[in-house]
Amino acid sequence: MHKPIKKVVIVGGGTAGWMTAALLKKVLSSVIEIELVESEDVGRIGVGEATIPPIRDFNDVLGVNNAEFLRETKATIKLAIKFENWQKIGSEYFHTFGAAGKTIAFCPFHHFWLRANQSGYQTNLWDYDLNYLCAIANKYSPLQTQNPLLAIPHAYHFDASLYANFLRKYSEKRGVKRTEGFINHVSLNAETGFVEKLHLKNDAIIEGDFFIDCSGQRSLLIHKALGVGYEDWSHWLPCDRAIAAPSERLTNTLPYTRSIAHSAGWQWRIP
């Protein structure tokens, strides 16, 4: 017989941990108790983060104040990703979060654009993509519109560690309990094999009905305790190292991420 879940324990307080805590608390409110365990000795990844538009849905579900979010996470607007030097040195293209033109009668816009071109009406497809036009003009406006032609789908660049702090504040205010402590050992239930208890360095024991592993690359529950392992994709992904470095501040903050190909890897530049 399954026991009802009354207490959820989240292992880790990086972006994954605090996003999980905030969302569960928002959705399940007082139905469950939530405890999050993290260790300042281990720390977070916490680099500059380039997100994609669903981050806004996430913030909307939480009901966070957007101005507060932008301020506290030092966020900037992201309209697109600009790929540079990928096809050949000097080549570039934008992957925008918007779209060129509008689908009419189930027919994507580029068909109309191609037809117009064949008929002698020569235009650039990008001229119909508002995100692209805003990105290259370094502009953005929070438009309130139902018209998809005028919408500017966007995401944010922000500091991942500040976002975790922001959501920590949100979650604790709503009753999520945070425990500071290094997890030494995880014990499993002898019968079910499920995670049962966390044993902290200071000898404290944390029990719960449902555990969520947000311990990042350490994978304390999924890998270490449960031995699930992972699929090795290194044959498809030859780049297996990342170096994070602060870059020079530009006079005008760009509203897009740059992805720049190099002879030995690629560079992600996040405003």
What positions carry a catalytic annotation? 78
Kindly tell me which residue out of 105, 107, 242, 264 binds ligand FAD, with binding defined by CB under 6 A: 242
206 lies in the site for ligand FAD, by CB under 6 A: no
239 lies in the site for ligand FAD, by CB under 6 A: no
17 lies in the site for ligand FAD, by CB under 6 A: yes
Could you tell me the smallest distance in angstroms from the CB atom of residue 244 to ligand FAD?
4
Residue 34, judged by CB atoms within 10 A of its CB (0-12, 13-18, 19+), counts as: buried
Could you tell me the smallest distance in angstroms from the CB atom of residue 26 to ligand FAD?
18
218 lies in the site for ligand FAD, by CB under 6 A: yes
Q: Which residues within the stretch 87-116 sit at the binding site for ligand FAD (CB under 6 A)?
A: none
Kindly tell me which residue out of 61, 150, 244, 266 binds ligand FAD, with binding defined by CB under 6 A: 244
Residue 162, judged by CB atoms within 10 A of its CB (0-12, 13-18, 19+), counts as: middle
267 lies in the site for ligand FAD, by CB under 6 A: no
Q: Which stretch binds ligand FAD (CB under 6 A): 13-21, 56-64, 73-81, 143-151?
A: 13-21
* Site map 25..64 versus ligand FAD, x via CB under 6 A: ------------xxx--xxxx-x-xxx-------------
**Per the structure block, which two tokens stand in for 166?**
């922001």
Q: Which is nearer to ligand FAD, 39 or 165 (CB)?
A: 39
Q: Which residues within the stretch 167-186 sit at the binding site for ligand FAD (CB under 6 A)?
A: 182-183
Would you say 225 and 186 are in contact if contact means Cβ atoms under 8 Å apart? Answer: yes
194 lies in the site for ligand FAD, by CB under 6 A: no
Q: Which is nearer to ligand FAD, 139 or 201 (CB)?
A: 201
Would you say 136 and 127 are in contact if contact means Cβ atoms under 8 Å apart? Answer: no
159 lies in the site for ligand FAD, by CB under 6 A: no
Q: Which is nearer to ligand FAD, 100 or 167 (CB)?
A: 167
Could you tell me the smallest distance in angstroms from the CB atom of residue 159 to ligand FAD?
10
Query: Count of residues binding ligand FAD (CB under 6 A)?
Result: 29
Kindly tell me which residue out of 8, 9, 10, 13 binds ligand FAD, with binding defined by CB under 6 A: 13
Instruction: Name every residue whose Cβ is closer than 8 Å to that of residue 262 and which is 6 or more positions away in sequence.
Output: 85
The C-alpha torsion from 256 through 259 and 260 to 266, rounded to 10°, is 150
Q: What number of other Cβ atoms are within 10 A of residue 168's Cβ?
A: 19
Contact residues for ligand FAD (CB under 6 A)?
A: 12-17, 37-39, 42-45, 47, 49-51, 160, 182-183, 214-216, 218, 220, 242, 244, 268, 270
